[in-house]
Amino acid sequence: MKVAIAGAGAIGGLIAARLAASGQAQVGVLARGRTLAALRQSGLRLQMDGDTFEAPIVASENPADLGPQDVLVIAVKGPSLPTLAPSLKPLIGPQTIILPAMNGIPWWFCLVDGPCRPFALTTVDPEGTIAANLPLAQTFGCVVHIGASCPAPGLVQHAMGRELIIGEALGGLSPRVESVARLLGKAGLDIKPSADIRQDIWFKLWGNLTMNPVSALTGATVDRLLDDPLVREFCTNAMREAASVGESIGCTVAQQPEDRHAITRRLGAFKTSMLQDVEAGRPIELDSIVGATQEIARQLDQPTPCIDAIFGLTRLMARTRGLYPEKIGQL
């Protein structure tokens, strides 16, 4: 089986390394710049379970070098996907499975039939270039529960978790979901096939919607956010708004905010990925996490004052640091 990984960061690199090491697939990695140079010079290295190993992969900056794939894993930051998507066409044949292993709400989330009228998410796919180049019928949804980092180009350090939840974007279980689940499972990942991946995506979003941007705004670790009663209550109210929106689109959240806070507290003095991006001067994934939630609420005419405040404040903070564009996501 041929598998291409677009994006050799922490998650993409980990998936690529596990697949290559398992011998279950011929793995190609799409990379550029310092990462591509490191992969060509030293290979892809993964530190996991106390061991460091080098994975046999082929690296290129040109998708045409890799050709059509059985599975295309997209593991890039959300803001880069609209520009990247057209270039991925040489990797996609009529049977290629597209598996985006990314944060937040994907571009296809509101294009599928559901309780509300289908519409395109302009916060995630402003010009429609993602949808135009990545066929919906070939696309999976994915929820990542893996903690990893890239301390240097071509080097991935695993921290926690091995779980990926995968399912058809259009819903239901299928033989190809089971096939990809077996492939990734044999690579040492914990795979959970889902008949309703939209539900799983929304549940993770509901948990990340507040801690990520509020930590980025304040520079505080999650334990400090929860220790402040005013901040905690504000986050709770935003989560209630998101749960109400989810109910309207068929993605019911059974958990209560306080239950989620208790789980988050177990992480201790944890820095969210968005806070780490701000500290490193990297663009933040605000649109797919907060902006898309707000856009869905507006389509439903549901008020979300707390989510609106999070989006506006975080967007302005990021713009003053050059980490968010001036026009995309302007609502």
Q: Can you list the domains of the chain with their CATH numbers?
A: 2-195 (3.40.50.720), 199-320 (1.10.1040.10)
Q: What is the pLDDT of residues 132-185, one digit of tens each?
A: 999 999 999 999 999 999 999 999 999 999 999 999 999 999 999 999 999 999
55: helix, strand or coil: strand
Q: Tell me the whole-structure pTM to 2 decimals.
A: 0.95
**Does residue 114 surpass a pLDDT of 90?**
no
pLDDT of residue 90: 98
Q: What is the pLDDT of residues 299-312, one digit of tens each?
A: 999 999 999 999 99
User: Would residue 204 show up in a list of annotated catalytic residues for this protein?
Assistant: yes
Q: Which long-range contacts (CB under 8 A, 24 or more apart) does 130-137 make?
A: 130/81, 130/82, 130/85, 131/107, 132/85, 132/86, 133/85, 133/86, 133/88, 133/89, 134/85, 134/88, 134/92, 134/98, 134/107, 134/108, 135/92, 135/98, 136/108, 136/111, 136/112, 136/169, 136/170, 137/170
Q: What is the pLDDT of residues 243-296, one digit of tens each?
A: 999 999 999 999 999 999 999 999 899 999 999 999 999 999 999 999 999 999
From 2, 192, 204, 271, the catalytic residue: 204
Tell me what the pLDDT averaged over the chain comes to. 95
Question: Residue 329 — pLDDT band, cuts 50, 70, 90?
Answer: very low
pLDDT of residue 330: 47
